Amino acid sequence: MTAVVPSAPGIAPWAPVNTQLAEYGAALAKRQPDAVTLREIIHGELILHTDHAHIVSLLTFLRDDAECRFTQLLDICAVDFPARPQRFEIVYNLLSLKHNRRVRVKLATDEATPVPSAIAVFASAVWFEREVWDMYGVLFSGHPDLRRILTDYGFDGHPQRRDFPLTGYVEMRYDVEQKRVIYEPVQLNQAYRRFDFSSPWEGPEYLRQLPGDEKASSTS
């Protein structure tokens, strides 16, 4: 059975939504009225929004409640929206093996406000929170070992931020004379870069005819 939920944010008024999932989300929000600030269903997935003060208690409820039993923290990721006052959206993806359900918890934060760590609820959060810190620079209060995990310890910046340059700030190479890895500022010789794309489908002028194309033109 499907129903239409025209008030759900991010969903077109005509989008069909599973009634059972909508009722389940409403029941969760009713039992956690302070923790669930907003609920929505997008692409058939239940999403619960919360805040800094209630993230740990909400995750604990979703893990321990008999009707939830979301005992698997699949991952913690983030999305950067630079135009928003709270530019980062922290996303917790949970799975209930007992009930065969998934739920997504979202929390908005800024660069300066730490997010309470979820390690006390899910031990695997120790790795996921380090990755979010490394990629986005989001702080997690109560984390015992918040340091880089994917980039090098000397890396400058947080590469998944929308304002981080694609080239980075420095490049790394091994110096034979010094016998160690060194960092140098990125240098791009723009005079040697040719940008003659008329459209992304046509490609540059010097690649319009690929090797072998002359055979096709001579036989036609």
Q: Is residue 143 located within the same domain as residue 171?
A: no
Question: Would residue 180 count as lying in a domain?
Answer: yes
Mean pLDDT of the chain: 83
Same domain, residue pair 40 and 112 = yes
Greater model confidence, 79 or 14: 79
| Domain closes at, from 93, 116, 150 | 150
Least confident of 135-139, 143-147, 161-165, 197-201: 197-201
Per-residue confidence (pLDDT) for residue 206, from 0 to 100: 54
β-pairing verdict for 180-185 and 72-80 = unpaired
- State pLDDT tens for residues 28-48: 999 999 999 999 999 889 999
* Domain presence at residue 99: yes
Last residue of a domain, one of 150, 182, 203: 150
Phi, psi of 21 (to 5 degrees): -65, -40
In-domain check, residue 155: no
**Dist CA 30 CA 20 (whole Å):** 15
pLDDT at 39: 94
Task: Specify the DSSP element, H or E, that contains 53.
Answer: none
Angle at 121 (CA atoms; ends 120, 124), nearest 5 degrees:
90
Q: Are residues 141 and 169 in the same domain?
A: no
- The domain boundary, picked from 105, 123, 150, lies at 150
Both 181 and 114 in a single domain?
Answer: no
Same domain, 125 and 190: no
27 within some domain: yes
- Structurally, how many domains does the chain consist of? 2
Q: Which domain holds residue 143?
A: 2-150
Asked whether residue 71 falls in the same domain as residue 180, the answer is no
Question: In terms of domains, do 75 and 182 share one?
Answer: no
Q: Is the pLDDT of residue 17 over 80?
A: no
Give the per-residue pLDDT at 67.
94
Q: 26-30, 121-125, 159-163, 170-174 — which is least confidently predicted?
A: 170-174
Q: For residue 95, what pLDDT is reported?
A: 97
205 in the same domain as 125: no
Residues 194, 93, single domain; the answer is no
**Would you say 152 and 168 are in contact if contact means Cβ atoms under 8 Å apart?**
no
Give the model confidence (pLDDT) of 51-105 as tens digits: 999 999 999 999 999 999 999 999 999 999 999 999 999 999 999 999 999 999 9
Q: Same domain for 207 and 129?
A: no
Note the pLDDT tens digit of each residue in 184-211. 887 665 554 455 555 555 555 555 555 5
